[in-house]
Every structure is written in C-alpha cells, then in structure tokens.
Amino acid sequence: MDIEYLDKTDEEEYRQLELLKESLVMLEDILTYAYEGYVLVDKEGRIVKINYEKLLGITEEEAVGKDVRDVLENTRMHIVVKTGEKEIRDVQRLQGHDMITNRIPIKKNGKVIGAVGTVLFKDISEVKELAHQLLDLQSKINKYKGEIERIEGTRFSFNTINTVNPKMLYLKKVGEMAAESNSTVLITGESGTGKEVFAHAIHSASYRKNGPFVPINCSAIPKELLESELFGYEEGAFSGAKRKGKLGKFHLAEGGTIFLDEIGTMPLDMQVKLLRVLEAREFEPVGGNKTISLDARIIAATNENLEENVRTGKFRKDLYYRLNVVTIDIPPLRERLDDIPILAEDLLRGLEKEFKIGRKTLDDKTLTLLMNYSWPGNVRELRNVLERALTLSTNRIIFPSSLPERLQKKNKGLGLQDISPISEIVEKAETEAIINAIKKSNGNKTEAAEKLGIHRTALYKKMAKYKIEM
Ligand SMILES: Nc1ncnc2c1ncn2[C@@H]1O[C@H](COP(=O)(O)OP(=O)(O)O)[C@@H](O)[C@H]1O
Ligand SMILES: [Mg+2]
C-alpha cells in the first residue's frame, strides 16, 4: 500500500518536473542570454536539463540522466535538493575558473522536487571588472556632483547678495516678494550693476528653482536669428542647411526662468511677437503650426531707459507695460559707495576661491581709494579691479600700488556731469569732503572736523548718515 502510494507521488513529481522542463524549453532563449549556463536536476540530483555546452563543452545528450556529481565539478546541487535551502552567489570552481553560481530548490506543496543551478559570471574576474567599472562610474558621478555643486554655488541667491545700502535692501525685499509670485520682472540699471545676479536670485528663490535658468542676450543675436532662438523651429522650417528642428529658449526654460537680457535692443517686429507670447502664454516654433504653452517665468533686463525708448518709438508701449509689472531699478555703484567694503569682501572671497589662492586683505588706504572712485563700470569694474589687484599683489595685504592708475589719482571731482537732484549733489560733496578731511588728518576726527569747520559730533552724525567708516 505504502509503496504503491510512494510510486504514485513519484509519478506525479516526475510529471511536474516534465512540465517544468517544457517551460524551461520555452524559456531557453531567455535563460541562455541571462546566464552563462544552467542545470536542472530532479530530487535525486539527476540531470533533467542542462546548458553548459558553451561554458564547459558538455552536451545535453551526454549529461541528461546522469548524477550531477559525475558531470559538474564541485557541484552542490545534490545537497540543495536535500536541504531545500537556496544558495545565492556562491563561488564554484569549474575547470580552473571561479564561477559565480546560484542554486535554487524547486518546491511543490512544500516538498523539494528538484533544483535549478545557474552560472551568473563565468569568471570572478568579470565581477572584479564590473566592480571596477562601478567604482569608475561612482567617481565620475562624484565629479559631476561636485561640478554641479560648484555651478550651483556660484549661482546667486538673495542670501549671497550682501548689502548695507537702504535702497538695495529695499530692492532685495521687492525681489524676494516677486520671486514668490509668477510675475514678469523687469530689471533696469547701468551695465555691471548686477542685473543678472538679481535675476539669478529671483530664480533661486522661486518655486522654479530646480528648473533651468536660461539666459539669452537679445543684443548678441542677429535680428534674423532671434525669433528661432527664442521660439525654436520645426523640422523643414528652413530650406537647405539645418533640416532638423531646434528647440527655442522658451522651450528650454520649461519649468524654470528665461532671462531676456538687453531687451531694449529687441527689434520692433520681435517685440510684437514677444508681447503675443506674454499675453497668450503660448508660442509657436518657426515654420510650425502647433502652439506650445509657456511654462517659464520671464525676467527681462535692460540698461536703456525704456520709457525714453517708448517716447521715441524704439520700444513698444504695450510691451513696456506688460514687462513693467514688477520693476527693480538697481542703482549704480557710485550711488551706493557704502556697499563697497562688503562687496569688495564678497568679491575677494569669490576670486580667491576661483583662483585657488590664499586669503588676502585690503589695506585701509586701498579701501579708501575704492570708496573714492566713481565706478562707471559698476560692480563688474570693481570685480576686475580686485582681480587685477589679487594678481599683482605679492603680499597678503593689497596695497594701493596694486590698483590701476585711474583709482590712485587724486579725486577727479564728483562725477556730476549728469544733472542730479541737489540733495544728491550735496550728499556727494559732503561725502567727498569728509573722506578727504579724514585722510588729510590721518584719521584724526577732531582735526578733520576742525578742517571742515564743523563740530566733532556733527562730523560723526554725517559719517553715520553717509555710512562713512574710517
Ligand atoms: N551683489 C553682488 N555680489 C557679488 N558680485 C556681484 C554683485 N552684483 C554684481 N556682481 C558681479 O558683478 C558682475 C556684473 O554683474 P551682472 O549681473 O552681470 O551685471 P549686469 O547684468 O547688470 O551687467 C558679475 O561678475 C557679478 O558676479
Ligand atoms: Mg548683464
């Protein structure tokens, strides 16, 4: 009775294994690609199916039905069918090679009916090679990570725009508030005042900060190309040369910010197109008939007087009003001389990092000269002056001799060629007089006050008012 029952289960198991074998045949291609070799044994450890031909030159015909130990060196398949425990990533020595193998028992209703063995790598050195490649990739990733952090780090945020100037502090507030909305921002100011820096800061403070920041200098691109630069073009839009399509800046800025620098130079016909984009919040690539919806914040900048340009017909009034939602008018550096110490400090630290040189400090006299100059080129000029000084100074301290001649000259006057409000002229005159008097008195405030014909406390009050620190 017992024996008959056993026989029946044996038969049943055999049938199961046959089914498995059939499925394996169907999966053969996959298995052959996935593994270097595989073997299927029954619960006694006899080979049911095998593909080790490529690996070891053993053909299926000669191996099937044999005890696995008689065919494969150092096998443990006969053990796995006894223990029912899988063995993953075991190293097995086969014909002089260390191979990586998996052995997995096959169970039916909790009973082991066989096992599959697979070879993952035919030589452990392959794994070492892979590990090597992984390490290589890892170090590449780290390198790029560093690179991205570096780029991100040089990006400006409102935290990196340091200022003590009341007007600049106010503009930072405006910028921060504008960043939170999706409004178009117009940044005006002379060249080199930090318009692009502000645009970066707005981008970094907005919910689009992880999106791209795409700058485009409208004056640097030929009139004929501007449209396709901004909106892209469809395949076959132009005859000849470039047959393939191209994405425009508006497309590239998707999810981020597009910075239209020097918008004042934009040709009138492009101004019409830009206005349409701002109004409809969608654009059309050149030569295409599909519209793409605009998903980018627009920040425009100019050093021109747009109001004046509107008056003379160089800039469209309607576009001007569209852009002029939030305006940030950055004052020239000569109107915020109080920022020079802090700006010089920030710029020096940045330059030291960039040139990988040790810390250098400005001599007091050097700083005074910096504060006495009119800076027609604004912060950009200050940066260049400091870069030059860093290169020229052999000392840890930057002395006036490292400054360009134009800064070392006696004050060339107040730089008041333009007509300014009386209050501004007075402020400049007083600032200059105070700085000169203190310099001539070698820092002695009482003496300086005497020279100026005012009381010492009056001098201190004016110094505080004009943020003169000497
Ligand atoms: N607040 C600031 N802090 C540090 N560097 C600044 C600051 N403002 C401007 N700069 C530097 O001055 C230079 C000119 O700035 P940029 O934004 O390009 O000016 P603009 O676009 O107005 O011509 C850049 O090198 C910039 O890094
Ligand atoms: Mg610029």
Q: Which tens digits make up the pLDDT trace of 30-43?
A: 777 777 888 999 99
Give residue 141's pLDDT. 77
Distance 320 CA to ligand 2 centre (A): 19
Higher-pLDDT residue of 361 and 429 is: 361
Q: Which atom of ligand 1 is nearest to the CA of 200?
A: 17
Give residue 414's pLDDT. 53
| pLDDT winner (highest mean) among 82-86, 141-145, 239-243, 419-423 | 82-86
Alpha carbons 334 and 214: distance in angstroms, whole number: 30
Rg (CA), the chain: 38
Q: 105 near 115, Cβ under 8 Å?
A: yes
Alpha carbons 227 and 277: distance in angstroms, whole number: 12
Report which DSSP code applies to 96: T
Alpha carbons 274 and 292: distance in angstroms, whole number: 14
Give residue 89's pLDDT. 85
pLDDT above 80 for 126: no
Alpha carbons 38 and 99: distance in angstroms, whole number: 12
Q: Which atom of ligand 1 is nearest to the CA of 197?
A: 17
| Phi, psi of 52, rounded to the nearest 5 degrees | -120, 15
Q: 339 near 166, Cβ under 8 Å?
A: no
Ligand closest to Cα of 377 equals: 1
Whole-angstrom CA distances from 396 to 181, 349, 361 are: 45, 13, 7
3-class DSSP state of 182? coil
3-class DSSP state of 330? coil
Distance 268 CA to ligand 1 centre (A): 28
pLDDT above 50 for 111: yes
pLDDT single digits (tens) 260-277: 999 999 999 999 999 999
Q: What is the percent of the chain where pLDDT is above 90?
A: 50
Alpha carbons 146 and 124: distance in angstroms, whole number: 33
pLDDT above 70 for 412: no
Looking up tokens 């100019």 gives 302
Give residue 371's pLDDT. 93
Helix H or strand E segment including 81: helix 77-83
Report residue 133 as tokens. 């490649």
Distance 469 CA to ligand 2 centre (A): 30
pLDDT above 80 for 379: yes
- Provide the CA 393 distance to its chain's centre, in angstroms: 34
pLDDT above 80 for 409: no
Q: 374 near 356, Cβ under 8 Å?
A: no
Ligand closest to Cα of 200 equals: 1
pLDDT above 80 for 282: yes
Angle 414-346-372 from CA coordinates, rounded to 5°: 15
pLDDT single digits (tens) 143-192: 776 666 655 555 788 998 999 999 999 999 999 999 999 999 999 999 99
Domains of the chain: 2-122 (3.30.450.20), 166-331 (3.40.50.300), 412-470 (1.10.10.60)
Ligand closest to Cα of 303 equals: 1
Q: Which atom of ligand 1 is nearest to the CA of 194?
A: 17
Give residue 237's pLDDT. 64
pLDDT single digits (tens) 301-320: 999 999 999 999 999 999 99
Distance 195 CA to ligand 1 centre (A): 7
Q: 204 near 156, Cβ under 8 Å?
A: yes
pLDDT above 80 for 49: yes
Torsion on CA atoms 147, 153, 157, 162, rounded to nearest 10:
-160
- Ligand 1: lining residues by beta carbon, under 6 Å: 161, 189, 191-197, 343, 346-347, 379-380, 383
Distance 198 CA to ligand 1 centre (A): 8
Give residue 1's pLDDT. 36
Q: Which of 191, 197, 378 to mutate to test the pocket of ligand 1 (most atoms within 8 A of CB)?
A: 197
pLDDT above 50 for 2: no
Ligand closest to Cα of 220 equals: 2
Alpha carbons 174 and 400: distance in angstroms, whole number: 37
Distance 194 CA to ligand 1 centre (A): 4
